[in-house]
Amino acid sequence: MTGHHEYQGQALTEAAKGALVNAGEQWTEMRAQIFDALAQAGGPASAYDVADAVSKNRGKRVAPNSVYRILDLFVANNIAKRVETQNAYIANAHPECVHDCIFLICQDCGGITHLDDDDLANSMRARAAGTGFRPDNPVMEVRGTCESCAA
């Protein structure tokens, strides 16, 4: 399992920074703050949640579009993921591995579990490709109830 490690806290920030720098992007103060806000949310956060958090932290308002720009950059570089059905973002705990990931979204508590299942993802891609479609970005998100909420 070389290369697949789940980071947290400071190590996560470092991993994210490494990934961005490695891709030839800059790790600016603004980007660091946005990533931290996302990581500290500990769950899905909307762009506006992040904007509010960062605005408060630095005492100066950040405009939504700045946040969107940076979140898009994060997603493009795999240090964050977008949860499509929730209009939300989460920090990616293992930026080194590229997966079509699966999100389990609890409709009770709002919590999100992140799975990677390449078999399933590949089946999905194959099924699409079988119809002549060229798959690019499979979105696999399951709404339901998490174990603790189901009790």
Does 134 bind DNA (CB under 7 A)? Our answer is no
What span, in angstroms and rounded, lies between the C-alpha atoms of 135 and 67? 28
* Cα atoms in the Cβ-side hemisphere of radius 13 Å centred on 41: 26
* 51: Cβ contacts below 8 Å, ≥ 6 apart: 62, 63, 64, 66, 67
Does 30 bind a second copy (CB under 8 A)? Our answer is no
CB 93 within 8 A of CB 8: yes
Per CB under 7 A, the list member of 66, 77, 99, 146 interacting with DNA is: 66
Does 49 bind DNA (CB under 7 A)? Our answer is yes
Per CB under 8 A, the list member of 84, 98, 109, 110 interacting with a second copy is: 84
Does 107 bind a second copy (CB under 8 A)? Our answer is yes
Binding residues for DNA, per CB under 7 A?
Answer: 25-26, 28-31, 46-49, 60-66, 68-70, 72, 87-88
